[in-house]
Amino acid sequence: MFDACADPKSIEGLTWAACYLTSGKHIDFYWSFVTVLLLLALTAPAALAMGFAGATAARSRFLPISILGKGYAAIVRGVPDIIFFLFFVIALDQGIEYLKSLAVCEDHAWPWQGLEFRVCPEAKVPLGKSSAFWHQAYGFGLAVFTFAIVFGAFAANVLYGAMNAVPRAQLETAEAYGMSHGQVFRRILVPQMWVYALPGLSNLWMILIKATPLLFLLGVKDIVYWARELGGSKTQAYEYPHPDWRLWYFLGLLVFYLIFTKVSEIVLARLSARLSHGQATAAGEAQRKAAA
């Protein structure tokens, strides 16, 4: 990055540290923080949407939909995450390529031949000749989708419980006013359920933050991958040889995660206070008394 860094083995002290910390690999490391934050920013709403759909389906009075919603939560929650991240992603990737091959390939041979999966080159997603960026973006997209499915199942269960926790009297009153089922759901049930869902959802958020290292299983290089890679001892084959510094890198990650979860806690606490406002819960009652 700097001119002084042209020959790293001849420099020492602060200059060395400055050059070391701005090497291309470190820049990749810093960018991976953005990757993780972006993943969280996309996954959290996606998982919430999946959860909401799952919970709504589970409450449906139409049996097949209800079974679908409950089955989704039960199956995904029961399968170990690591299996999901190892096998589901490969299956999803192959499934997408198979569907695409039906549309673009001339030869419709069954792609699963023994241990290999073969489709014509035009059906590859992304195409073999696409730039590395597309390969990464695709891997990232698969990651977001997989995280959304896994965490959506947990969120579905939380939201299902929260919907059932809304006092029945509230819904009955709404019905007595002549609201339709849809209106009761939208105007009464959903606005009130969040306060019951929030503790469970905040747990999920904390777990999601810590689950991001699973990204590496999907080929996305996250902060834990880079910390391990940068911290590992380096021989003279590298420009900046150093002993095993993983401890320092992982301490850095520890600080990052602690700050991040602390900030999350503060935000969630505020959100909780806001949602409790005017609710017929202990927290809502406490707020009312404090104000009076």
Partner 1 sequence: MKRLLLATALTALSGAAFAQDVVRLGTEGAYPPFNFINDAGEVAGFEREVGDELCKRASLTCEWVTNEWDSIIPNLQSGNYDVIIAGMSITDERDEVIDFTQNYFPPAASAYVALAADADLKGIVAAQTSTIQAGYVAESGATLLEFATPDETIAAVRNGEAVAVFADKDFLAPIVAESNGELMFVGEPVQLGGGVGLGLRESDAELKEKLNAAIQSMKDDGSLNALIEKHFGPEAAKF
Kindly calculate the radius of gyration of the chain based on its CA atoms and give it in whole angstroms: 25
Q: Among candidates 101, 133, 135, 137, which has minimal Cα distance to 117?
A: 101
The distance of closest approach from Cβ of residue 63 to partner 1 in the complex, given in angstroms and rounded to an integer, is: 25
Closer of 196 and 249 to partner 1 (Cβ): 249
| CA distances, 239 to each of 6, 10, 25, 30 (Å) | 10, 10, 11, 19
Name the residues that contact partner 1, by CB under 8 A: 8, 23-25, 27-28, 86, 90, 93-94, 96-97, 100, 104, 113-119, 121-122, 124-132, 134-135, 138, 141, 216-217, 219, 228-229, 232-233, 235-241, 244, 246
Q: Which two tokens stand for residue 108?
A: 């419709």
- In the Cβ-directed half-sphere of 60, how many Cα atoms lie within 13 Å? 17
- Residue reference for tokens 């029961």: 78
Closer of 43 and 202 to partner 1 (Cβ): 43
Closer of 19 and 208 to partner 1 (Cβ): 19
The distance of closest approach from Cβ of residue 282 to partner 1 in the complex, given in angstroms and rounded to an integer, is: 38
The distance of closest approach from Cβ of residue 41 to partner 1 in the complex, given in angstroms and rounded to an integer, is: 17
Closer of 122 and 265 to partner 1 (Cβ): 122
Q: Among candidates 76, 42, 59, 98, which has minimal Cα distance to 212?
A: 42
The distance of closest approach from Cβ of residue 74 to partner 1 in the complex, given in angstroms and rounded to an integer, is: 22
Q: Which two tokens stand for residue 200?
A: 């469970």
Closer of 95 and 191 to partner 1 (Cβ): 95
Q: Rounded to 5 degrees, what angle do the CA atoms 13, 17, 22 make?
A: 155
Closer of 131 and 180 to partner 1 (Cβ): 131
The distance of closest approach from Cβ of residue 129 to partner 1 in the complex, given in angstroms and rounded to an integer, is: 4
Closer of 109 and 266 to partner 1 (Cβ): 109
The distance of closest approach from Cβ of residue 29 to partner 1 in the complex, given in angstroms and rounded to an integer, is: 9
The distance of closest approach from Cβ of residue 188 to partner 1 in the complex, given in angstroms and rounded to an integer, is: 26
